[in-house]
Structure 1
Amino acid sequence: MKLAGIDIGTTSIGIVIVSSESGKTELVAIKANDAQLPSERSWERAQNPERIVEIVRELISGCGPAWSDVSAIGVSCQMHGMLYVDRSGRSVSPLFTWQDGRGDLMKPDSADTYADHLSKLTRHPMSSGFGLTTHYYNVLNDEVPADAAALCSIGDYVAMQLTGTAIPLIDASNAASFGLFSNKLADFDADAVARSGMNAAILPPVCAGTGIAGITPDGKQVACAIGDNQASFIGSVPDLIGTMLLNIGTGSQMSAYTEELEEIPGLETRPFPGGGFLLVGAPLSGGKSYALLEQFFKSVCLAFGGGTEAKDQHLYERMNALAEEVLNSPLNAGLGQLRVGTQFYGTRQDPFERGHIAGLSADNFTPGYLAAGVLTGIVDELMGFVHLLPENLRASLNKAAGAGNGIRRNAVMQRLLRERLKLPLHLAEAKEEACFGAAIYAAAAAGAFPDIHAAMAAMKRG
């Protein structure tokens, strides 16, 4: 049996074809996600869902004859963001992504932002970028399209377009990322939605267990789309139990699996496909904090006549080399290390918090120390969430898995994680972790294995 896994990321979209028997990845294809839409609103972040579907179809077309052997398709997608569809299942709005900032705007006649006001009304922690925070703003500002019949994630929308279905069916992993979700009920909190003044009729139904969203015209089963955090966990960890996942891409995440429902202040409890939960700490910083530093160095070069031909990857390689020299220097072992807070984009709890640099001296005011400080700051912010895990769960973790290009392509980041965690760091053999995880999930949803645990055990390659 051949499975396909599709991951719809913020900046790229990928597809893999995997054998259910060996777990071998037989095809990998990636395309840039160029669906970003310009906006006159500085806080708005939107993408064109029809362009995203077009890119997915281009990737499928590029699979050639291998596509005919695929029996089931799994879809993973960027979480939190949402779009509106009409009764025929067509998009009637952009995809408002997880980076959208309308929830951080001040609500008129209130001392609160829209997100804070919604949190108080519903007694659920809501952040800007959450699907229902975005919808709440749109409701209050008459920006919900007149023909909107339902809202859904971009993964749900791709599944709808592949199968021709008109009604979105959402997995709990994506539903929870919208906010106002009850882990106990495994459904949206209808009472909280009512307190907000929003109409719950626009919410999509939540699929139970390992659900199927529909069938393609050529007979392929399409699993309900799952969140990219959960898909990356499935595709990255050697075992569900005893492994922590650290994912550094555009943002960053710390995730640990638990079979029991636990609510920990400071951590998100996210439903896991097929049962159980992930305890997740999700800073807004990550790879984009290091990218911000790269842009700073590039602008310095340009400002002082360094030219415009520097290749991004070469600049990153030089930054990493300078950072490693610093980490190996005697000064770094004492008081000479720069301390960088990488909250350049705020935090989910406080969107107005900002980064900082401390410990500057005549000895460490250098590009190398700045690079090392930013990398260390990214890791330290993740470690703050690790320490929030329940002591019994933290004690049971005997290895860590690293995912995302921010880890995979950066040996200095890998070194810092190993030093801080004091655990072996496993890098998944599947380089497109979320795609691979989506394919594994599809195997379980299509009935090739009795559940997700069995599918993971059979299809893991390393």
Structure 2
Amino acid sequence: MLFAGIDIGTTSISAVLISAASGRAVRVATCANDASVRGEHSWERLQDPQRIMEQVRGLLAECQEEWPDVAAVGISCQMHGILYVNGDGQSVSPLYTWQDGRGDERMEDRDASYARYLRERTGYPAASGYGLVTHFHHVKNGNVPKDAVYLCTIGDYVAMQLTGAAKPLMDPSNAAGIGLFLASKRCFDEEALRRAGMDASILPPVCQGTEPAGRTPDGKPVACAIGDNQASFLGSVSQLERTLLVNVGTGSQISIYTDNDVAPEELDAAAGLEIRPFPGGGSLLVGAPLSGGKSYAMLLAFFQEVGRAFGTSPDEGEIYARMNEWAREAIRRGDAPLQVQTQFYGTRQDPGLRGAIRGIGPDNFTPGHLAAGFLQGMADELMQYVGALPAGLRGSISAGAGSGNGIRRNPLLREMLEAKLGLTLELPPGEEEAAYGAAVYGAAAAGYYPDVRSALSEMRKG
């Protein structure tokens, strides 16, 4: 028996087939997400849902040999973004991704951005890229498609397309990701929506348990799509409790699970920690910088530009390897390090904040010190969130896990984080952590295990 997991990421899409007996992947198929489309404005970040669906079907076609043995399908997806669907369940808009910037645009009739106004009007966290910030912008500017009946995430849309459903069903992990969600009641705050001038009828129903979203034409149950952060956690840790996950990819996060209710007022609002519903119950406490691996990619782009100016064009892999070599050598030399603040893309609390480089002197103004400073700054930014965790939860941490290409392919960053945490960051056996986690959740949602914890425990035994 096999369980399938599909992950719709911002830059790549993956499918894995996991053996129920061993917990190991028997098939992995992945491709670049080439669904980006150009918008009319520089701040738009759009993707084509139909193209994404074509790519998902293409990956599943690569799994046809094993498909008869698949018992259930799970889906994870890039969080926060939305698209609109009509009454037949077909897309009538592009996917507005989590990187979309329209929420930071200033409202014509107010001295505030759309995101800031929504925060102040509702009392909920709201950043540009959150689905209901995007929808709020559309409502205020008359841009909601006329034939839109529901909005949903790209994962919900893929589940609808696989099952033939005309109506999306949204998991709380994704519902919280689009905003204005009452986690304690597992529903959207319709009163807050009304205060902001939005009609709650466009929101899909929220999954109240682990019931499947539907079945494929050949009868396989398909779980409600879950957020990629929660899926990556499931796909990276060997136990839910007492494990801190550090993920560094395009973005980055620290995440820890708790089955105790945590009220927002228990957290330091300035620290930026989020409480995210966990599929099947409980919560993740998450600290998520906006920059993450994009900071190091920004430095790579700088070195590429310098290379082109001198007539050379090394590929990305070569430059990354050289940057890490330079950084190690700079650290070995023991010169005064550069202090790099890596909030180059702002923070969720302050989108206008920018990074800084300090402590420049004649001995440390080198490519190696710059690379080392960027890596140290990325690690420091994540550690600020670890320090902001409630003391009891922070003190319970006994294991560490790492995921994402920034951890897998950059041993120096991993070493920096391990030194700061005093923990070894264990890497999961496969690289497609979110797709693996989606498969684990799919197995639980289909009833093959009593709950998510049991599914993880049994599938990790192998």
Both proteins in one fold, TM over 0.5: yes
The answer to whether structure 1 residue 133 and structure 2 residue 133 are counterparts is yes
Partner amino acid, structure 1, of 2:455: A
Shift in Å, 1:200: 0.2
Residue 292 (structure 1) aligns with: 298
Alignment of 1:12-161 (within 5 A): 12-161=12-161
Aligned length in residues: 456
Report the CA distance between 1:19 and its aligned residue. 1.0
* Alpha-carbon separation, structure 1, partners of 2:332 and 2:394: 29
- 2: distance between equivalents of 1:211 and 1:178? 21
Offset, 1:165: 0.2
SS of residue paired to 1:4: strand
What are the residue-to-residue correspondences of 1:28-427 with 2, within 5 Å?
Answer: 28-262=28-262, 263=264, 264=267, 265=269, 266-305=272-311, 307-308=312-313, 310-331=314-335, 336-427=336-427
Contact 1:338/1:358 (CA < 8 Å) preserved in 2? Answer: yes
In 2, distance between residues paired with 1:29 and 1:328? 40
* Structure 1 portions without partners, runs of 5+: none
User: One-letter code of the match for 1:35?
Assistant: A
Q: How much has 1:208 moved relative to structure 2?
A: 1.2
Distance in 1, matches of 2:238 and 2:63, equals: 28
Determine helix, strand or coil for the equivalent of 1:65: coil
Q: CA deviation at 1:287?
A: 1.1
Deviations 1:403-440 (A, max 9, x none): 00011111011101101111121111121100100000
Matches of 2:113 and 2:337, distance apart in 1: 37
- Preserved contact between residue 429 and residue 461 of structure 1 (Cα < 8 Å): no
SS at 1:313's partner residue? helix
Please list the CA deviations of residues 30-54 of structure 1 after superposition, one character each: whole Å capped at 9, or x if unmatched: 1000000012300000000000000
Q: TM-score scaled by structure 1?
A: 0.98
> How many Å apart are 1:398 and its aligned residue?
1.1
Tell me the residue number matched to 2:460: 460
Shift of 1:111: 1.3
What SS is found at the alignment partner of 1:222? strand
Provide the C-alpha distance between the structure 1 equivalents of 2:204 and 2:129, rounded to a whole number of angstroms. 18
Q: Deviations over 1:302-353 (max 9, x none)?
A: 1122x22x1210110010111111222222xxxx100111111111111100
The 2-side partners of 1:119 and 1:73 are apart by 36
Aligned-pair CA distance for 1:205? 0.3
Superposed displacement of residue 211, structure 1: 2.2
Counterpart Cα distance in 1 of 2:433 and 2:304: 30
Matches of 1:101 and 1:58 in 2, distance apart?
31
Q: What are the Cα deviations for residues 9-65 of structure 1, in whole angstroms up to 9, with x where unaligned?
A: 000000000011210110001100000001230000000000000000000011131
Q: How far is the alpha carbon of 1:461 from its aligned partner?
A: 5.6
**CA–CA distance in structure 2, aligned partners of residues 379 and 209 of structure 1:** 36
- Indicate conservation of the 8 Å contact 1:17/1:28, yes or no: yes
- Supply the distance in 1 between the matched residues of 2:17 and 2:301 (Cα, whole angstroms): 35
For the 8 Å contact 1:121–1:196, the answer to whether it is kept is yes
Secondary structure of 1:64 counterpart: coil
Letter in 2 for 1:272: F
Distance in 2, Cα, partners of 1:276 & 1:397? 17
Contact 1:250 1:287 in 2 (8 A): yes
Q: Distance between the aligned counterparts of 2:328 and 2:64, measured in 1?
A: 43
Counterparts of 1:52 and 1:79 in 2: how far apart (Å)?
A: 15
Deviations 1:94-114 (Å, cap 9, x if unpaired)?
000000000000111211100
1:147-188 CA-to-partner distances (Å, cap 9, x unmatched) read 000000000000000000000000000000000001111111
Distance (whole Å) between structure 2 residues aligned to residue 255 and residue 413 of structure 1:
18
Structure 1 CA distance, aligned partners of 2:450 and 2:21?
14
2:165 partner letter: T
Letter paired with 1:76 = S
Q: 2: CA distance between counterparts of 1:109 and 1:39?
A: 24
Give the letter aligned to residue 107 of structure 1. M
The alignment's TM-score, normalised by the length of structure 2, stands at: 0.98
In the aligned structure 1, how far is the partner of 2:293 from the partner of 2:369?
18
Tell me the secondary structure at the aligned position of residue 205 of structure 2: coil
> Is the 1:24–1:461 Cα contact (8 Å) retained in structure 2?
no
Q: Distance in 2 between matches of 1:365 and 1:410?
A: 22
SS, match of residue 65 in structure 2: helix
Question: Structure 1 vs Structure 2: percent identity of aligned residues?
Answer: 57
In 1: Cα distance, 2:117 partner to 2:461 partner: 47
Q: Report the CA distance between 1:441 and its aligned residue.
A: 0.4
Q: Distance in 2 between matches of 1:419 and 1:325?
A: 18
